[in-house]
Chains A and B, each alone.
Chain A
């Protein structure tokens, strides 16, 4: 896949990092402000997609990226499920029990498991949206070959 012009490349270079940070901000403040794992994950995936579109990529590198993002996608779900299952062991045998200390409402580190769940969901959504995008362009490259 070919990249775009130097103007697009430079602009992307400037804003992709900001978008990435903003995604992380949305994920981490999921239990305090609107948004959360899903919305933040989409923004994270957006920054990656922007970079790939602007700079272009080699077919083989795309395939490698796709397999990497699939691993992160599965890991995200597994860690989420593992956190939920810890409730069965430590939280009075209740699935999804929020047995960590809840802290003061409004603080960044509070609400027990919710920020951790948000991080898992964020990784999962970012990786799966990226995988879908990569699968589509890999498919297109294969047809063009």
Chain B
């Protein structure tokens, strides 16, 4: 048992409550303590990614050993898939905290901000590491409730409206998830994901579990903002403070939405063709509709928020293609390729969408507006922001040599090899439209100086914000190295194999 695993949850929790106590006596402690917590998490997450082998590492909280092969107690599972998600949570989290040091200086109640930030991180780490569905729900609520408060942090009219919408939809989703967990517990008599899988293999009522699957898909679909359930995302992500938008869009929708959907539908249920086709359709619809909604936006952060929906559509669609092929039992290598592409795009999206939201925050910080029509010619006055956002825009539109190109290429190649020609064409088209609206963003914000307009008073962007943006831009470049076959086999392929080989997860945990 790797003793680092519980620290992923315990350290940010302790950090959050220490900030609340010590923060009132020592000024400025909050930001440094939060940065230290996230730095520690980043260190142990990369350490675990590099040192853990292909096998899952199971941690039994409280030391409760299985009785007659039936797991009791709480299990935390660290495997090659969750390791990747933990890395992006802590990396984006660390850079967002560094960015907030100067960005949040204009807001009051810094203690609450950093404490909620640590709580949200603890919740996401818990969701990713949890080995049973009830604890997924508990940690999901921890991260969701702290994110409701963080979205409303500006306490303006728009923020409160956005957070109310987010809370209502989030509560409906949580209710559906809890209901589905109750249904599963009723039939399977267990909450451990691996053990549910064993009970499921021994015989199950097909239509009963279909209802459960639909409820879980709807619940986590709201959290992941796939298209029919996306209404909360553009408001919440655009009215939150920018480092929080980066966390929400870059990490939260993946850790509590996409990750859980993938984990449950691959490792807990048996993949059926009906559900796989449904997931692929949802992904393709999100991909296409999200991009058309984004192109008409004039508010930078709303544009980025709709683009998140579209890019998450790529991930869901790629994973769905893998599911369809696995369900049919054909071309398992193409299925593995599609899932690899999906996971790769998920990592890439965390990097470039985090970067773009931080850029949007920097623009808002210096110019004081988010409306593209009121800016122009910022490239001269904000060279670093302009350069990094150019890198982010090229990455998200899939221009080589940036990371987005390789993940989209893998997804499109997998779609063609699996004979999903329509999806491949749609993916390529959406990528072109993405390029179009990011060129719109670049042009109106940074280049096109209109002669009649007076140059606004521009504040200088402070160093911590520049640091975060530059590091993320470098990450965007470095992540494209994962496309090299040797690195891909070391990091991405084990995660895809774990999902393809359906019984491996549960057999590793129950030891059967």
The stretch from B15-23, B341-349, B428-436 touching chain A is: B15-23
- Tell me if B168 counts as interface (CB < 8 A to partner A): no
Check A85/B17 contact, CB under 8 A, given A95-B61, A95-B62.
no
Check A81/B13 contact, CB under 8 A, given A74-B21, A93-B1.
yes
Residues on the B chain within 8 Å of A98, using CB = 62
Within the assembled complex, what's the spacing in Å between the Cα atoms of A100 and B457?
64
- Tell me if B6 counts as interface (CB < 8 A to partner A): yes
Q: Which B residues, 148 to 191, have Cβ-Cβ distances below 8 Å to chain A?
A: none
Residues on the A chain within 8 Å of B3, using CB = 88, 93, 95
- Tell me if A77 counts as interface (CB < 8 A to partner B): yes
- Tell me if B10 counts as interface (CB < 8 A to partner A): yes
B-side interface mostly: helix
Q: Are B20 and A70 in contact (CB under 8 A)?
A: yes
Residues on the A chain within 8 Å of B1, using CB = 93-94
Q: What are the interface flags for B1-43 relative to A under an 8 Å C-beta threshold, 1 for contact and 0 otherwise?
A: 1010010001001100110110010000000000000000000
A126 to chain B, nearest CB (A): 16
- Tell me if A32 counts as interface (CB < 8 A to partner B): no
Q: Are B10 and A95 in contact (CB under 8 A)?
A: yes
Within the assembled complex, what's the spacing in Å between the Cα atoms of A65 and B358?
39
Residues on the A chain within 8 Å of B17, using CB = 74-75, 77-78, 81
Q: Which A residues, 43 to 89, have Cβ-Cβ distances below 8 Å to chain B?
A: 67, 70-71, 74-75, 77-78, 81-82, 84-85, 87-88
- Tell me if A96 counts as interface (CB < 8 A to partner B): yes
Q: Are A91 and B63 in contact (CB under 8 A)?
A: yes
Within the assembled complex, what's the spacing in Å between the Cα atoms of A94 and B6?
9
Within the assembled complex, what's the spacing in Å between the Cα atoms of A99 and B21?
28
Check A97/B13 contact, CB under 8 A, given A74-B20, A78-B18, A78-B21.
no
A96 to chain B, nearest CB (A): 4
Residues on the B chain within 8 Å of A87, using CB = 62
- Tell me if B117 counts as interface (CB < 8 A to partner A): no
Within the assembled complex, what's the spacing in Å between the Cα atoms of A137 and B55?
54
Nearest residue, chain A, Cβ from B60: A94
- Tell me if A92 counts as interface (CB < 8 A to partner B): yes
Residues on the A chain within 8 Å of B14, using CB = 78, 81-82, 85
B461 to chain A, nearest CB (A): 34
Residues on the B chain within 8 Å of A93, using CB = 1, 3
B25 to chain A, nearest CB (A): 10
Interface size counted on chain B using CB atoms at 8 A: 16
- Tell me if B59 counts as interface (CB < 8 A to partner A): yes
Q: Are A94 and B20 in contact (CB under 8 A)?
A: no
Residues on the A chain within 8 Å of B21, using CB = 71, 74-75, 78
Within the assembled complex, what's the spacing in Å between the Cα atoms of A98 and B62?
7
B203 to chain A, nearest CB (A): 34
A121 to chain B, nearest CB (A): 14
Residues on the B chain within 8 Å of A82, using CB = 14
Q: Are A97 and B63 in contact (CB under 8 A)?
A: yes
Check A97/B20 contact, CB under 8 A, given A88-B3, A88-B6.
no
Within the assembled complex, what's the spacing in Å between the Cα atoms of A77 and B6?
16
Residues on the A chain within 8 Å of B62, using CB = 87, 94-98
Within the assembled complex, what's the spacing in Å between the Cα atoms of A55 and B47?
57
Nearest residue, chain A, Cβ from B73: A96
Residues on the A chain within 8 Å of B63, using CB = 91-92, 94, 96-97
Within the assembled complex, what's the spacing in Å between the Cα atoms of A91 and B14?
20
Among candidates B10, B20, B24, residue contacting A81 with C-beta atoms closer than 8 Å:
B10
Within the assembled complex, what's the spacing in Å between the Cα atoms of A97 and B73?
12
Residues on the B chain within 8 Å of A95, using CB = 3, 6, 10, 59, 61-62
Residues on the B chain within 8 Å of A96, using CB = 6, 61-63
Q: Which B residues, 266 to 309, have Cβ-Cβ distances below 8 Å to chain A?
A: none
Q: Which B residues, 59 to 118, have Cβ-Cβ distances below 8 Å to chain A?
A: 59-63
Interface centre among A75, A84, A94, A95 (most CB of B within 10 A): A95
Q: What are the interface flags for B379-412 relative to A under an 8 Å C-beta threshold, 1 for contact and 0 otherwise?
A: 0000000000000000000000000000000000
Within the assembled complex, what's the spacing in Å between the Cα atoms of A74 and B16?
9
B389 to chain A, nearest CB (A): 39
Residues on the B chain within 8 Å of A94, using CB = 1, 60-63
Within the assembled complex, what's the spacing in Å between the Cα atoms of A82 and B17?
12
Within the assembled complex, what's the spacing in Å between the Cα atoms of A92 and B60?
12
Q: Are A85 and B10 in contact (CB under 8 A)?
A: yes
Which B positions have Cβ atoms within 8 angstroms of A? 1, 3, 6, 10, 13-14, 17-18, 20-21, 24, 59-63
Q: A81-B14, A82-B14 are known contacts; what are 6 more A-B pairs with Cβ within 8 Å?
A: A85-B10, A93-B3, A95-B3, A96-B6, A96-B63, A98-B62
A-B contact pairs, 29 of them (CB 8 A): A67-B24, A70-B20, A74-B17, A75-B17, A75-B21, A77-B13, A77-B17, A78-B14, A78-B18, A81-B10, A81-B13, A81-B17, A82-B14, A84-B10, A85-B14, A87-B62, A88-B3, A92-B63, A93-B1, A93-B3, A94-B60, A94-B61, A94-B62, A94-B63, A95-B6, A95-B10, A95-B61, A97-B63, A98-B62
